[in-house]
Amino acid sequence: ELKVEQNPLFLSMQEGKNYTIYCNYSTTSDRLYWYRQDPGKSLESLFVLLSNGAVKQEGRLMASLDTKARLSTLHITAAVHDLSATYFCAVDIGRNNNDMRFGAGTRLTVKP
Amino acid sequence: DSGVTQTPKHLITATGQRVTLRCSPRSGDLSVYWYQQSLDQGLQFLIQYYNGEERAKGNILERFSAQQFPDLHSELNLSSLELGDSALYFCASSVRASSYNEQFFGPGTRLTVL
């Protein structure tokens, strides 16, 4: 059975600091997604990573994918309070858009 | 705003009852997915429809069923409701693409079973 494991599950950090969230998965896939969810809100797509070595950056967030290690990282640079949210990674192992599984989520709190 | 709409936003009902949640995908998207999000189970994939046909099933209970109509909107039917069914139910949609499957999520329906 596919396992998608995120760590840490909870992360409290100071503004201005850097940190990395990890997403490990247990089966072959070259399609990985990162989503953000604010409390009580829906999920917002952040990054789509489609190949080994893919790296994408948006503002203070950078995501990468290592398909050989079955690992994706979400790196936060110089965190600001507005980044406080829950971040989910999701792995697609389907052939026809039909098998995407989410990690448990990392709840990030950025303190001033 | 993802372009995916869900109704109602909130639903409060009693145990044993039946409810229907509705989802309209983004314009042009053929696939609809249903998810349940609860504190204890996290985000769980329930079921996927593609162009009216069931494509994949996840952890969907037998008391739950779904369908996608010719206009591509979808409904999730939950029956014989139990307290544990209280959760946030999301619908997501995507276009059929051979290489990737970015899903766009609706605002969700918060179901409370009393």
Give the model confidence (pLDDT) of B39-89 as tens digits. 888 888 899 998 899 988 888 999 999 999 999 999 999 999 999 999 999
The pLDDT value given to residue B100 = 67
Q: B57 touching A, CB under 8 A?
A: no
DSSP state of B91: E
pLDDT at position A95, please?
66
Whole-number pLDDT of residue A34: 96
Identity of the residue in B50, B100, B108 whose CB atom sits nearest the CB atom of A42: B108
Query: Looking at the complex, does the CB of residue A3 fall below 8 Å from at least one CB of chain B?
Result: no
pLDDT (0 to 100) of residue B96 = 65
Which residue numbers in chain A have pLDDT < 50? none
User: Averaged over B7-24, what is the pLDDT?
Assistant: 97
- Interface membership of B106 toward A (CB under 8 Å): yes
Encode pLDDT of B90-110 as tens digits: 999 988 654 567 889 999 999
CB A101 within 8 A of CB A89: no
Separation of alpha carbons A73 and A64, rounded Å: 5
Q: Which residue of B has its CA nearest to A29?
A: B100
- Nearest one of B21, B45, B20 to B33, comparing CA atoms: B45
Average of pLDDT values for B3-7?
A: 96
CB-based contacts of B98: which residues, under 8 Å, 6+ apart? Answer: none
Looking at residues B2-21, what average pLDDT do you find?
Answer: 96
For B1-114, where are the E strands, in sequence order?
5-7, 10-13, 19-24, 31-38, 42-50, 53-57, 64-68, 74-78, 87-94, 104-105, 109-113
Look up residue B38 and give its two tokens. Answer: 């609860």
**In the 8-state DSSP scheme, what is residue B25?**
P
Tell me the pLDDT of chain A averaged across its residues: 91
